[in-house]
Amino acid sequence: MTHPHVPRLLATTALAGAVALFGACASTPPPSSELAVSTAAVAHAAGAGAPEGAPAELRSARDKLARAQAASSSGDQDLARRLALEATAEAQLAEALTEAVRARKAAAELTEADRVLREEMARKARTPQ
């Protein structure tokens, strides 16, 4: 005759095993939104002139994005998420550096235009009317 607690013990053990099995199968979800944001950030930086203004930073962003996509495909979602976030930051840095280069060029052009205008005004002031 079977002990009265054996069926309950077997059921509890089976339930615990199933929970452990499902817990082991459950993994971090793919970082879909992070990958999408990173892809958009890299594309935006490239469109904003980063290939010329900040090529090293853009290259790094593209590399990290590719590595993030590969990590996600191979199931390493935590690494994929981290690399996607880093790629986004690199792309934003590339875009900011590109804007800084543009701003410095614009400032230099304004300084030169101001210098030429002042010289022209000084020349006209010296010329008799």
* Number of domains making up the chain: 1
Decide if 113 is inside a domain.
no
Decide if 11 is inside a domain.
no
Among all chains, which residue has been given the structure tokens 């009265």?
A: 4
Decide if 23 is inside a domain.
no
Enter the tokens of residue 64. 């990290």
Distance between CA atoms of 31 and 70, rounded to whole angstroms?
12
Instruction: Give residue 128's pLDDT.
Output: 76
Contact between 71 and 31 under an 8 Å Cβ cutoff? The reply is no
- Span 96-122, average pLDDT: 95
pLDDT digits (tens, 9 = 90+) for 51-70: 999 999 999 999 999 999 99
Decide if 6 is inside a domain.
no
Chain centroid to CA 109: how far?
32
Distance between CA atoms of 28 and 75, rounded to whole angstroms?
9
pLDDT digits (tens, 9 = 90+) for 117-128: 999 999 988 887
Decide if 72 is inside a domain.
yes
What pTM, to 2 d.p., does this model score? 0.70
Highest mean pLDDT among 2-6, 17-21, 100-104: 100-104
Looking at residue 127, what DSSP letter applies? S
Decide if 2 is inside a domain.
no
Domain hosting 69: range is 28-99
